[in-house]
Amino acid sequence: MLRLIVILVIFAIFFVPARIIRVEDEKAISFQQERLPQMTREQIYHARVFYKKTIYARHLLLRILRIISRIFLIITATLFVGAVSIQFGLLFNLVPVGMTRLWALSQSDGSRNLLLILASIVGSFGVMTWWYQYSRLLALIEDDSHRPEDLLWTSPTILQRQKECYLFMLVMFLMVVYGFTFLAVTNGIPSSVTPYYLPKIFF
């Protein structure tokens, strides 16, 4: 039962908003297809993607910020997975006992906490950077496609709904990282030297 609850919570936090964003994209494509029946949905989709890429191509700072934000978010996810692996005892099982130093780190609360603190810091910068460049992109889209005749034109209602979904996912992502970090540094979760404690609960 607990496993099902965890799966449903994760689904609600990330997959539902992502699906809403996709559905809103489909609505924008449907609008353009009604106006341009000679074009297929796939052609309209690729044209819209291409136009967005040209916006990034024309604005170097925006493109750099998007790359930096993605790197930060990937690093954050990697650090978080590493911390969870230490907590769950996954690294504990993979590291050979002969590698004494690495084996000790693989079951260290200090290593877990350090990874989580770094994930919180890097994740904060990553989320803020991504949100800034995304907000600027939307502003440029609205400037460049203020007429429904433009393929990139998207209803302000759709843009707002997508923006809210992205914001929700980013905030929840940080809350998960911050929450786990807070519990770890305040000893709110079991020590990583008992690696099978959490898997017994959830799995």
Q: Where are the domains of the chain?
A: 2-35+43-202
| Residue 37 or 121, more confident | 121
Look up tokens 């930060």; give the residue: 72
Q: Enter the pTM of the model.
A: 0.77
Give whole-number Cα distances, 21 to 34, 98, 134, in Å.
20, 49, 14
DSSP state, 126? H
Q: What digits encode the pLDDT tens for the residues 3-13?
A: 566 567 777 77
Q: Tokens standing for 133? A: 């460049």
Q: How would you label 55-84 residue by residue, b for 16+ Cβ within 10 Å and e otherwise?
A: bbeebeebeebbeebeebbebbbebbebbb
139 sits in the region (left: phi over 0; alpha: psi -120 to 50; else beta) called: alpha
Specify the pLDDT at position 106.
Answer: 52
Tell me the one-letter amino acid at 63.
Answer: R
Of 160, 172, 158, nearest in space to 127 by CA: 172
Q: For residue 1, what pLDDT is reported?
A: 54
Long-range contacts, 34-43 (Cβ 8 Å, 24+): 35/148, 35/149, 36/151
**DSSP structure class, residue 203:** -
What is the tens place of the pLDDT at every residue in 15-35?
888 888 888 888 888 888 888
Q: Could you give the C-alpha distances from 142 to 55, 130, 136, 154, 156, in angstroms and in order?
A: 12, 18, 10, 8, 8
pLDDT band at 98 (very low <50, low <70, confident <90, very high): very low
Question: Residues 174, 126: contact at Cβ < 8 Å?
Answer: no
